[in-house]
A and B are shown apart, each in its own frame.
Chain A
C-alpha cells in the first residue's frame, strides 16, 4: 500500500488512522458549494473537501438518532392538526351526503376530482426521479430520490382518498374492485374510470415496493449502528431506545448483510423495478387523462391529453419536490452538502423544459379547437376560459382561473432561463409555489370550465366551493405534510448506499 494513493489516504482516515494531507495536484472541481464554470467539469454530488463514507452515514443517521432539531415537534403538532381536518370533513360528508360540497347538476365533478388529479400528478415526480433518471444513469438523482419517492407515496394516499369519497355512497366503494359478491355483479372493464382504479392502486403499490426495497440497506445500517451501541453501552436508558431501533429496523432490514452476492441481485432487481416503473408512471397519468378524453364533453374530448397530462404531472411534481427540499436544506444540519445547488439547478432545468411542454399543450389544444372546426369546442376554449366576461358578454366568469394558470405555469418558469435564478434557492422556491398553484388551477380549468357551460345553455351553472370543499383540500395538504414529517423523523431520508457509491473514493478503478 503506497501512502500517496488518494483512495488509501481517505480510507486510512476512515479507519481513524490519520488525517489526509492536502491534495497536492490541482483540483478543477471547486468543492465549496459553488458550481463549476467549466461545462466539461461536473460539480461534485457530495460537497466537502474530504467528506468520507462515515460522514454520510453520520449525517443521515443523525437525523433519526439525534432528531432534526427543536423546531420539529411544534411544527409537527400544527401540521397534524391541519391533517385532522381531512377525516373530520370526510366524516361530515359521509354522515350528511355529497350536498355538503358545492356540486350541482351541471358541475358534478369539481374540487374532488381537481384535488385527485392534482395530488396524483405530484406523485409522478418521485417515480420519474427514481426510475427514469435511474435508467438514464443520472447520478445526481441519488440524493433526492428517497425523499421524492416518499413524497410520491404520500401524494398517492391523498389522491386516492378523493375518488373514494366522491362516489356518493362511500360504503359501496368496495364495488370499485372486482370482488365476488352475492349479486354476481362485476365491474365494467370497458370504463376508463375502472382503468383508473387499477392504474392508481397499482401505482401506489409498486411505488411503495420500490421505496421499501431502496430502504432495505439503509435500515440495515440503522440496525447495525443500534446493535453496536448496545454492545458497547453502559447507560441502560440509551440502550432501551437502541433496543427498539435494533428490533424495528432489524425487522425492516430483512437480515440484509451487505453481501456482494446479494447486492448483485439487488442491483438487477432495482433496474428491473426502474424499467417497469417507467411505463407504469407514463401509463398512470395517461389513464387519468382518459377519464376526460374518452368523454364527449368539449374541452375534455382531446387526443393530446395523455402526453399533456404526463408532462404536467412531472412539472408539478418537481415543483413539489423543490418545495419540500429547499426548506429541509435550511432546517437540517449538513443537508446542503448532500442536496447541492447542482441538484436544485438540474431540477429547475427540468421545470423549465416540462413547463414548455405544458405551454405547448395549451397552445395546441387551442389550435385544434379552432382547426377542428367544432363550434362547441372552440366556444369552450375561447369563451369559457380565455375571454373575460367584462370584455365580451359570451365570456364566462372563470377567465381569472385560466389566466392564473398561464401566468403560473408558462410565465414564471421563464425565470429559469437565467443562471442566477436557477441557482437561487429563494427564486426556485417562489417559482415552485407558483407552479404548484398553477397546476392546481390547470386541473380546475380543465374540469370546471368545461363542465359548467356545456351544450345546452339552459343547464349552465356556476360552481362555488363550500367551506367543506376548501377544508377537505387544506386537510389533504396537512395529511401530506404530516406523513412527510414522520418520514423525515423515522426513516432514512437519503439513500446512503447509493450516495456512497457515487462519491469519488468509491471508484475502485480511480488512479
Chain B
C-alpha cells in the first residue's frame, strides 16, 4: 500500500465567477465533489483532503521577505489537496480521473509520497 498526494491546480476564481452561479449550480457542483470524494472514502482509501484559501504569503530570501502570494505563473493556483492510499501509481491515477476539477479546466497532479528506510 502506497501513499499518494493529489494536488488540485485550478483557475484562480475571482468573486465574479461565483455571481453567475445559481443555487441549483452550487448544489450540483457540491454533489459532484461529494460523490467523488465520498467514493474514495467509501473504499477506505482516503487519508485526508483540504481546500486552500486563495490568498497566502510567500516567504523568500531566507524567510526575511514576506509577500502576498501565491504567485504562480498565470492565474493558476493550488486550490487543495488530497492524501490517499493506493496499491499502485496506476490506481492512484484512476482514482484521480474522477475529479470534478477537470470539468472547469483544472489539472490534478499525482505524486507518490516517498518512504524513507
Answer yes or no: do A and B interact. Answer: no
Chain A interfacial positions (CB closer than 8 Å to B): none
Chain B interfacial positions (CB closer than 8 Å to A): none
